[in-house]
Chains A and B, each alone.
Chain A
Amino acid sequence: MKIDDLLQQSGEWLRGSGPESDVVMSSRVRLARNLHRFPFLTVAPPSERSAIEAFVRERFEQVLAPRKIHYLTLTRMSNVDRTLLVERHLISREHAQGEGDRGVAVSTDESTSIMVNEEDHLRLQVLRSGLNLEEAWESIDRLDTTLEQHLNYAFHPRFGYLTCCPTNVGTGLRISIMVHLPAAVFAKQMDKVLQTLQRLNYTVRGLYGEGTSPVGDFYQVSNQVTLGKTERDIIGEMRKVIPEVLKFERSWRHKLVEDEPRKLEDKVWRAYGILKNARTISSEETIEHLSSLRLGVNLSIVQGIPISTVNELFIFTQPSHLQKIERKVLETEERDVVRADFIRKRLPSV
């Protein structure tokens, strides 16, 4: 698999076919793992990093090739290609911008990825469309069990799977549910959601993870506690919390439809109008309008646009995607023109 292949397809998790996908964009589970007898990356010198990467790669070749998971080395990859992987949600921004020998194994359907030498030696990730934690967990659990037979993990009977940062120790399991909450944002009710979730020990962040402000009304809800609970407990608790968020968002959507139908329709159709007609558009403006359009499609205000098209536009209109599609480096203004053209072409007339 090559990076360019990614441009000819889109991740399965973007189909919008999973449960509750009117509000839940994706379910992500992540496991942090380190190798026994290797220093953690906090102290590992470059030579040791290379040794870890080489060791893992060799094992991956035996284990992962039959599962259609292919290894890409990031060390000599161009900045645009690395950022493309971030835009695809296959690696973290930190991993793209990191140093030293590192890489990522990616499944052809983009549902599974394993970052090598990020903060921990291994970061396994499985993504699913909608609220689908059970399937995501079963898949990552199987992958982890297979890998464990070929790699010796650092494990402690009291502390569990050992990680570089004590916030990940134990199960190493972090669940992130990406929710789209345009009505709650529109009604200025997000404070309530944020406060409640934080009180329950959940972290809520913007679309692109750590240190970013929410873009396009997307929020990532993740668990903070990784130790002292079983994986099933962590998943079970999330399964109880998320439906409350869904109920809240849907109530506000319903209220908008009932109380201010004109205002809502106007917002949605203006967004469609701009996206379908603009000749130059920034990434922020695109996301803002796509968010309104997504709401409009989910509320059947706009018909004839598949939700997968809207979801894919969020991904394909980002800077590295546009540059890869055009096969050249583009300055911001040039990108805004290319982006507008791309959206007009992809968005069906209704």
Chain B
Amino acid sequence: MICGKCNKNHATVHVTEVINGVKKEAHLCEECARGAGVGIKFSFSISDILGNLVDAKPPGKPTEKAAQLKCPECGMTYSEFKSKARLGCANDYEVFRAGLIPLLEKIHQATQHVGKTPHTADGQIKKENELVRLKRELDSLVKSENFEKAAEIRDRIRTLEIDLSAGPGAQRV
């Protein structure tokens, strides 16, 4: 099919418009379609998709509250976060936490870090992360019926839990 506008190139963009019940069809080449401003997408960036994954408002918050949500440190608003799916500063992870958690769940199927921690992080954080990691290991060991190793891990979890409940900041996470 030849482009209906320049009558020269091969038509690869097919547009159907319905205005007041009247259906109009156009067959254009890429160049003419771009010239006519037809909404075609030639590039695809990850931030486009990510933005769509962010909820319009954080769960459990009324829309008007979400609109007011703004980071006092970097000035980023919830709607900017939603459109870019990028964060402006470390504090945004707290400010947009409620909206961020479902997004992280979609991307990583997880919301809790269990990897490396900086030396500067206190021992408490390290223990808490270790606890999450061990609990996950326990689950998979039970699933694979490796009960001997599971019992060993369960003991380590108990020790850690006692340790954590005795220490300061035990309520965290």
Give chain A's interface residues, CB within 8 Å of chain B. 34, 36-40, 42-43, 141, 144-145, 148-149, 152-167, 169-171, 173, 211, 224-231
Contact = CB atoms under 8 A, between A and B. Distances in A.
B129 interface: yes
Contacts of B90: 34, 36-37, 40, 154, 156, 162
B1 to A, nearest CB: 26
A157 B107 contact: no
A43 B118 contact: no
Interface in B91-128: 93-94, 100, 103-104, 107-121, 125, 128
B87 A162 contact: yes
A228 B108 contact: yes
A183 B141 CA distance: 39
B112 A158 contact: yes
A148 B118 contact: yes
B133 A156 contact: no
Interface string B52-84: 000000000000000000000111100000001
Contacts of B117: 155, 160
A22 B73 CA distance: 51
Contacts of A154: 90
Contacts of B50: 165-167
B19 interface: no
Sort A-B residue pairs by CB-CB distance and give the 6 closest, nearest first. A228-B110, A160-B113, A43-B88, A227-B108, A171-B115, A154-B90
12 contacts: A37-B90, A39-B88, A43-B88, A148-B118, A155-B121, A163-B87, A165-B47, A169-B113, A171-B116, A227-B108, A227-B113, A228-B112
Contacts of A171: 113, 115-116
Contact of B88 (A42, A211, A226): A42
B103 to A, nearest CB: 6
A226 B128 contact: no
Contacts of A166: 50, 85, 87, 100, 103-104, 107
Contact of A211 (B43, B47, B93, B125): B43
A37 B45 CA distance: 29
Nearest to B169: A157
A40 B89 contact: yes
B46 A227 contact: no
A227 B87 contact: no
Nearest to A163: B87
Contact of B87 (A40, A144, A145, A170): A40
A43 B119 contact: no
Contact of B108 (A34, A158, A225): A225
A230 B136 CA distance: 11
Contacts of A228: 108-114
Contacts of B118: 148, 153, 155
A148 B119 contact: yes
B77 to A, nearest CB: 11
Given A43-B75, A155-B118, A155-B121, A227 B110 contact: yes
A231 B116 contact: yes
Contacts of B121: 155, 157
A132 B33 CA distance: 48
A261 B109 CA distance: 47
B173 A225 contact: no
A246 B120 CA distance: 41
B86 interface: yes
Given A145-B119, A160-B117, A227-B108, 9 more contacts: A34-B90, A42-B76, A153-B118, A162-B90, A166-B50, A167-B46, A228-B113, A229-B114, A230-B116
